[in-house]
Amino acid sequence: GSVMSTSINLAVIPGDGIGQEVVAQGLKVLTAVLPQDVKLESKQYDLGAQRWHRTGETLPDAELEALKHHDAILLGAIGDPSVPSGVLERGLLLKLRFAFDHFINLRPSKLFPNTATPLAGRPEIDFVVVREGTEGPYTGNGGSLRTGTPAEVATEVSINTAYGVERVVRDAYERANARPRKKLTLVHKNNVLVYAGHMWKNIFDKVGQEYPEVTTDYLHVDAATIFFVTQPERFDVIVTDNLFGDILTDLAAAVTGGIGLAASGNINPTGAFPSMFEPVHGSAPDIAGTGKADPTATILSVALLLRHLGYEAQAVRIEDAVSADLAERDGTFRSTDAIGDALAARVAG
Amino acid sequence: GSVMSTSINLAVIPGDGIGQEVVAQGLKVLTAVLPQDVKLESKQYDLGAQRWHRTGETLPDAELEALKHHDAILLGAIGDPSVPSGVLERGLLLKLRFAFDHFINLRPSKLFPNTATPLAGRPEIDFVVVREGTEGPYTGNGGSLRTGTPAEVATEVSINTAYGVERVVRDAYERANARPRKKLTLVHKNNVLVYAGHMWKNIFDKVGQEYPEVTTDYLHVDAATIFFVTQPERFDVIVTDNLFGDILTDLAAAVTGGIGLAASGNINPTGAFPSMFEPVHGSAPDIAGTGKADPTATILSVALLLRHLGYEAQAVRIEDAVSADLAERDGTFRSTDAIGDALAARVAG
Ligand SMILES: CC(C)[C@H](C(=O)O)[C@@H](O)C(=O)O
Ligand SMILES: CC(C)[C@H](C(=O)O)[C@@H](O)C(=O)O
């Protein structure tokens, strides 16, 4: 946790597709919830598909440098079918996560009232995935030999360090210890990925000795997907590697009523670099500009941002507003803007 | 497809936990369904946790050699908590898949009547995952440096070859082309795993030119998990890498009414080595010996085995029997043995 500041100097990267629209609602709610005496400054950064088409740039050094001087970053969504797969992901989104050492990728999953979970029986779901954000198969390590020929060999190297695993595991224990159920589940695949998997498990067990009140559990990633749909209520805090966390949090979003509600924080708890908050969903170019995008995931990401900056009461206010708003929803269509307005009105109250 | 033989020389590896029990039912149904003039010989191999505890061996060369001379292998389940994670998986199960070049890991998913899917609305589900079986992050390539120290680095290398990818992709196109809907979805993560992911996508597109009637689609693995729960009916044939296939097929089993029904074949379509058939579930030591294990997944794996050996009519007979049996199920408990008896009676009819 950081200390509450009396001004927030925010960087905003709306990005592509619905990114612009949802970020506008996030800022609307942020403005509405902040106490009068907190000065909010924000600067927009033009990064994403259009910028790349125009200039060939994804994230120039000058902008990376400028971003460092903000208190936090709010990001909409990155990606467009007109850009080759990987260019913006590796060159912009992952570049930010790696450059700012966002080793905690925090993804809470909660089944809100009235949400359309595909699960029969509506189990209680309230867990948080602590996804490692700077290692694993995401490092970009690997290559391709004899590319495009029938003799091609392509590799991807998952890199895992005790340094990187211990810090995320410790963070997850802290979070579990602070929750009523105090339960932490490690998800990996240590029966196949024996080198990385055993290191994760050993560190998980070792750090666990410092948290005697936390109940622990281990699941292989394949088995974990089963429990996500058959018994999601068994989870409290989950800690896992970068790729497994990517997969599991989309699944978590699906079972808790949709990717329209899934928030995330790319957090550097040391404060050495700004943390970055973004909805889990993508840029959804098919609905961009139609007013159909649900800004709730972005607004919930703003709550995570506020919590990170020390505005706990304001974060809770947003989360409660979302809960109350969904509880009263009657199923009629509401535009992106209308949802933003409704939530802004509630938090301002 | 192979040519129907008038004798079957089967290797049986019951393995651990419920493996013994479910394999017994599989053999019961196999015996019942085979025409009188087909000679069934089978030899049991004592491999798994007990053997390892007794002798320290997982799969000695002599047994690997002996296994080669069978027409097919029926495997129950491998693994026990008393054995360190990875020892039996890498030393026995994966060793067999790699030694016998089982590059097609075939995993059909179908929502049978009356099965307890956790999905509301019971969508129609009938797809098959063609999981690559001999490459990707499963090769055992990688290592650990300064093991156990705070400076440890552990790597896992995913190895992918054009040779390996093309053969599984081609097999998947063949399967899609033979099905009424003729739809093939590639699942990967080519926006992050750009080397392997782009090679998979390029080969997928190239081979696709030879199958103009097959409709194709690409999904990132994280997005695929969402569709597995919100819209599983969109899938027909899925082709994917070894690890993504592992994760997705457990999820598929969960949404189609449980791991008790998920069958699989580790297939070498060239016939150079025997193919191996096994339920997707594990050894479930917690219910071993209680008569609670559902042998249906093993019995459906026997159907895949028969299809592979050219006994299509008999394979269909088993699948129809399972369907009819489930349709008439009234929810009362039936033991492992009772389910086997019921299905044996139906197929013998
Ligand atoms: C867009 C992609 C690089 C990203 C990821 O894989 O982390 C996304 O799926 C996410 O979960 O934030
Ligand atoms: C037991 C394990 C090695 C295996 C795998 O990961 O392939 C299992 O999960 C499976 O799906 O057959």
Pairwise CB contact (< 8 Å): A249 & B222? yes
Cα of B266 to ligand 2 centre, how many Å?
11
State whether A137 and A237 are in the same domain: yes
Q: Given CB atoms, is A289 within the 8 Å cutoff of chain B? A: no
Suggest the residue from A139, A147, A194 to mutate for an interface test with chain B (most B CBs closer than 10 A).
Answer: A194
State whether A197 and A281 are in the same domain: no
State whether A133 and A238 are in the same domain: yes
Sheet with B215-220, strands from edge to edge, namely B39-44, B7-15, B72-77, B275-279, B263-267, B104-110, B126-132, B237-240, B183-188, B215-220
State whether B144 and B249 are in the same domain: yes
Q: Is residue A134 part of a domain?
A: yes
Q: Strand A237-240 relative to strand A7-15: parallel, antiparallel, unpaired? A: unpaired
Residue B314 has pLDDT above 50, yes or no: yes
Confidence class for position B258, pLDDT limits 50, 70, 90:
confident
Q: Going by CA atoms, what residue is nearest to atom 2 of ligand 2?
A: B89
Q: Is residue B125 part of a domain?
A: no
Which among B198, B231, B256 is the end of a domain?
Answer: B256
Residue in B256, B107, B124 with CA at minimum distance from that of residue B180 = B124
Tens of pLDDT, residue by residue over B100-128, are 999 999 999 999 988 889 999 999 999 99
Dihedral (CA of B297, A252, B134, A150) sign: positive
Q: Is residue A108 part of a domain?
A: no
Mean pLDDT on A6-32: 97
Specify the pTM.
Answer: 0.96
Tens of pLDDT, residue by residue over A60-81, are 999 999 999 999 999 999 999 9
Q: Is residue B129 part of a domain?
A: no
In total, chain B counts a number of residues equal to: 349
Q: Is residue A9 part of a domain?
A: yes
Q: Is residue B74 part of a domain?
A: yes
Residue in A238, A233, A188 with CA at minimum distance from that of residue A216 = A238
State whether B148 and B243 are in the same domain: yes
Which among A231, A256, A281 is the end of a domain?
Answer: A256
Mean pLDDT on B23-43: 97
Residue B283 marked ligand-binding: yes
Q: Given CB atoms, is A1 within the 8 Å cutoff of chain B? A: no
Name the amino acid, one letter, at A306: L
The Cα A228–Cα A249 span in angstroms is: 10
State whether A222 and A135 are in the same domain: yes
State whether A122 and A251 are in the same domain: yes
State whether A233 and A124 are in the same domain: yes
Cα of A128 to ligand 2 centre, how many Å?
26
Residue in B68, B65, B92, B67 with CA at minimum distance from that of residue B78 = B92
For residues A115 and A326, the answer to whether their CB atoms sit within 8 Å is yes
Which residues, including other chains, have CB under 8 Å from residue B65's CB and lie 6 or more apart?
A: none
Q: Going by CA atoms, what residue is nearest to atom 3 of ligand 2?
A: B89
Structure confidence at residue B1 (pLDDT)? 43
Q: Is residue A121 part of a domain?
A: yes
Pairwise CB contact (< 8 Å): B153 & A162? yes
Number of structural domains found in chain A: 2
State which residue of chain A sits closest to B84, comparing Cα positions. A191
Residue in A168, A184, A151, A188 with CA at minimum distance from that of residue B156 = A188
State whether A276 and A331 are in the same domain: yes
State whether A123 and A97 are in the same domain: no
Which residue range is the domain that position B23 belongs to? 1-116+258-349
For residues A49 and A82, the answer to whether their CB atoms sit within 8 Å is yes
State whether A183 and A300 are in the same domain: no
Q: Is residue B17 part of a domain?
A: yes
Rounded to a whole number, what is the distance in Å from the CA of A4 to chain B's nearest CA? 33
Pairwise CB contact (< 8 Å): A196 & B250? no
Mean pLDDT on B34-50: 97
The Cα A259–Cα A297 span in angstroms is: 8
CATH number of the CATH domain containing B44: 3.40.718.10
A vs B: CB pairs below 8 A: 222
- Look at residue B82 and give its three-state secondary structure: coil
State whether A122 and A242 are in the same domain: yes
Residue of B110, B171, B189, B311 marked catalytic: B189
Which among B256, B285, B306 is the end of a domain?
Answer: B256
Mean pLDDT on B297-313: 98
Structure tokens at A313: 């009461």
Tens of pLDDT, residue by residue over A281-309, are 999 999 999 999 999 999 999 999 999 99
